[in-house]
């Protein structure tokens, strides 16, 4: 093994990797420099960087605060490429090493014993990922508990089906509208801190639902919860590479999805039990506790992802950049449009399913429960057993294959109304659903520059959630005209057609053919990498 025994953090780090490869060096001992001459674009900027070096050499930058940004850059480089870099850390940095050494750094509580301040987590990235994913799954479980309990409360208050529909829309609409507009905040603010602050605010809003019982107030609070989710979700995705490293990102996304699916299964069941033994307020307080748990976990772990240089400009320009970076990449543009079009059809399932199961299959309530659960079981199996093992370069093919699987499962299961076949078909739709969502996340991570990635996640999420709203709205008329089985056959055929329409582009390109993230700080106005 050849080791470069004394090197400094480069910006971008990928340029340093290229130099190591060119020199034939396997690893480098990495120091945290304050000056970055490689960032200079002209003589004036070079002088600024060298002035920083002059301060350091001359002993005029002797405070700890002066070096914290350099340490954060070192942390990011070590987290992203642990197989290539070894960090050189001064003694005064010992209290700042929590996220990387496997220590959980909890806020100091008055009267708390010292043992609570630094909890060991075996020093393994997988353990940290599991803890974060479990907190995310717990929060998802709380969301499902809240929706079910609020639906029952509105029903018991005598509200119509329109009120229940408004309840669902109030939770999803902020992801479509607020998400892209507020997304620049995700790229501007340190991601761990953003998730903690948003979770605390969501806990306060959720607590308000305990006391606000009117329809209008409930809808307003749900909109606020949805707005928080529109910020927290992409910020959490940005933390995954910092936890597991760039090579483990697909596994990290799959772990989050697995725990989210588990939470979605457990939420309604637990809410039903709590309502049976207490009332709706207890369920809403439990949801509040899940937000508090998320905030405490992220605060204690200290996992950080600092904003990347280049996420500047006016707010409207930054919002447009999230759209432009996706639209300017032919593979991403095709993948997102194909999946959004497919979702318009597959979302019909959420409305038509009950009519197909009760009217066409004629099964009991127990059978209905098994069939609905089959979809989530398929998602869990896929995100646990299949998705983490799919190589990055296969993701476009996986997207096509999952779309074909989704369409065929819906069409065949509806055309032959047999309970056993329907059970298998619904499980396969869950497998396809998980693979589709994870493929889009992995493609965005691979092809979008890091300084725009938060906006890209928010914009793609808004597009896909918007398609889901449209499909759900169309599910009612489609079911009324065609019946449950007919609506599912239409959903399957439409999903197959739009997937096959996008397949020539998706099958022709490899996910890793272009790596825009290798140029982390493009010049102002530069175009994103395209095919």
Residue 22, classified by CB atoms within 10 Å of its CB into exposed (0-12), middle (13-18) or buried (19+), is: exposed
pLDDT of 493 > 90? The answer is yes
CA distance 472 to 346: 9
The CB-based long-range contact list for 525-530 (8 Å cut-off, 24+ gap) reads 527/328, 528/324, 528/325, 528/328, 528/329, 528/448, 528/449, 528/452, 529/328, 529/329, 529/447, 530/328, 530/329, 530/330
Range name among 71-75, 115-119, 252-256, 360-364 with the lowest pLDDT average: 115-119
Report phi then psi at 496, rounded to 5: -60, -45
Give the tens place of pLDDT for each residue, 290-332: 999 999 999 988 888 888 765 567 888 888 988 999 999 999 9
Per 3-state DSSP, the chain is made up of helix, strand and coil in percentages (nearest 5) of 75, 5, 20
CA distance 431 to 350: 16
How far is CA 228 from each of CA 23, 184, 196, 390, 468, rounded to the nearest angstrom? 47, 14, 11, 31, 19
CA distance 326 to 456: 7
Residue 449, classified by CB atoms within 10 Å of its CB into exposed (0-12), middle (13-18) or buried (19+), is: buried
Task: Report the Cα 420 to chain-centroid distance in Å.
Answer: 34
Contact 432, 403 (CB under 8 A): yes
Helices marked H in 81-124 — which ranges?
A: 98-101
Tokens (6 digits) for 387:
């998705």
Residue with tokens 């989710």: 229
Query: In 10 A of CB 448, how many CB atoms?
Result: 24
CA distance 386 to 435: 8
Is the model more confident about 69 or about 385? 385
| Bridge-based pairing state of the strands 85-87 and 27-31 | parallel
The torsion of the CA quartet 73, 127, 255, 97, rounded to 10 degrees, works out to -10
Residues 6+ apart with CB under 8 A from 465: 172, 175, 176, 179
CA distance 63 to 34: 12
Q: What is the 3-state secondary structure of 362-425?
A: CCCHHHHHHHHHHHHHHHHHHHHHHHHHCCHHHHHHHHHHHHHHHHHHHHHHHHCCCHHHHHHH
Residue 122, classified by CB atoms within 10 Å of its CB into exposed (0-12), middle (13-18) or buried (19+), is: exposed
Mean pLDDT of 184-203: 93
Report phi then psi at 157, rounded to 5: -80, -5
CA distance 467 to 176: 9
Task: Report the Cα 450 to chain-centroid distance in Å.
Answer: 14
- Which pLDDT band holds residue 530 (cuts at 50, 70, 90)? very low
Average pLDDT, the chain: 82
- Which pLDDT band holds residue 524 (cuts at 50, 70, 90)? very low
Edge-first strand order for the sheet with 3-8 is 3-8, 27-31, 85-87
Query: In 10 A of CB 280, how many CB atoms?
Result: 22
pLDDT of residue 16: 77
Mean pLDDT of 282-293: 95
Residue with tokens 């996992």: 303
Cis peptide before 12 (omega within 30 of 0): yes
pTM of this structure: 0.72
Give the tens place of pLDDT for each residue, 19-69: 877 787 777 887 777 777 877 777 876 777 787 777 667 665 555 555 666
- Which pLDDT band holds residue 99 (cuts at 50, 70, 90)? very low
Report phi then psi at 29, rounded to 5: -85, 120
Give the tens place of pLDDT for each residue, 477-491: 999 999 999 999 999
Range name among 21-25, 271-275, 415-419, 501-505 with the lowest pLDDT average: 21-25
CA distance 189 to 307: 6
């Amino acid at each position: 093994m050849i080791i470069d025994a004394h090197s400094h953090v480069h910006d971008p780090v990928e340029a340093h990797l290229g130099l190591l490869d060119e020199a034939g060096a396997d690893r480098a001992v990495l120091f945290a420099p304050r000056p970055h001459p490689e960032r200079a674009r002209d003589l004036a900027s070079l002088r600024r960087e060298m002035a920083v070096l002059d301060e350091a050499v001359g002993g005029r930058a002797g405070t700890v605060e002066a070096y914290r940004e350099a340490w954060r850059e070192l942390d990011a480089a070590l987290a992203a490429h642990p197989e290539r870099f070894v960090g050189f850390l001064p003694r005064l940095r010992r209290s700042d090493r929590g996220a990387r050494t496997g220590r959980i750094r909890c806020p100091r509580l008055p009267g708390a014993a010292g043992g609570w301040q630094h909890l060991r987590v075996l020093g393994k990235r997988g353990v940290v990922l599991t803890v974060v994913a479990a907190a995310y799954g717990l929060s998802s479980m709380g969301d499902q508990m809240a929706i079910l309990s609020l639906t029952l409360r509105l029903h018991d208050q005598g509200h119509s089906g329109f009120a229940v529909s408004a309840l669902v829309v109030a939770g999803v609409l902020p992801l479509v509208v607020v998400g892209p507009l507020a997304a620049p905040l995700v790229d501007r603010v340190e991601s761990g801190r953003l998730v903690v602050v948003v979770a605390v605010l969501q806990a306060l809003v959720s607590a308000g639902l305990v006391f606000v019982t009117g329809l209008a107030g409930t809808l307003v609070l749900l909109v606020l919860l949805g707005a928080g989710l529109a910020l927290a979700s992409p910020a959490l995705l940005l933390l995954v590479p910092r936890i597991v490293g760039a090579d483990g990102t697909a596994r990290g996304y799959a772990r989050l999805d697995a725990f989210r699916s588990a939470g979605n299964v457990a939420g309604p069941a637990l809410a039903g039990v709590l309502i049976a033994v207490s009332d709706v307020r207890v369920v809403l307080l439990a949801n509040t506790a899940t937000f508090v748990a998320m905030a405490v976990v992220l605060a204690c772990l200290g996992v950080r992802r600092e904003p990347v240089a280049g996420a500047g400009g006016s707010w409207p320009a930054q919002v447009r950049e999230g759209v432009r970076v996706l639209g300017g990449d032919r593979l991403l543009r095709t993948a997102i449009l194909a999946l959004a079009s497919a979702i318009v059809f597959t979302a019909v399932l959420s409305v038509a399913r009950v009519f197909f199961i009760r009217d066409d299959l004629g099964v009991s309530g127990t059978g209905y429960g098994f069939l609905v659960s089959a979809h989530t079981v398929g998602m869990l199996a896929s995100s646990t057993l299949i998705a983490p093992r799919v190589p990055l370069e296969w993701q476009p093919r996986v997207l096509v294959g999952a779309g074909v699987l989704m369409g065929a499962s819906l069409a065949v299961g509806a055309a032959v109304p047999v309970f056993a076949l329907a059970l298998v078909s619904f499980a396969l739709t869950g497998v396809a659903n998980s693979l589709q969502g994870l493929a889009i996340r992995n493609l965005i991570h691979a092809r979008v520059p890091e300084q725009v990635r938060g906006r890209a996640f928010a914009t793609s999420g808004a597009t896909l959630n918007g398609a889901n709203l449209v499909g759900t709205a169309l599910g009612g008329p489609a079911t009324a005209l065609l019946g449950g089985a007919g609506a599912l056959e239409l959903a399957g055929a439409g999903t197959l057609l739009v997937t096959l329409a996008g397949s020539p582009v998706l099958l022709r390109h490899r996910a890793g053919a272009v790596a825009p993230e290798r140029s982390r700080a493009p010049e102002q106005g530069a175009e994103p990498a395209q095919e």
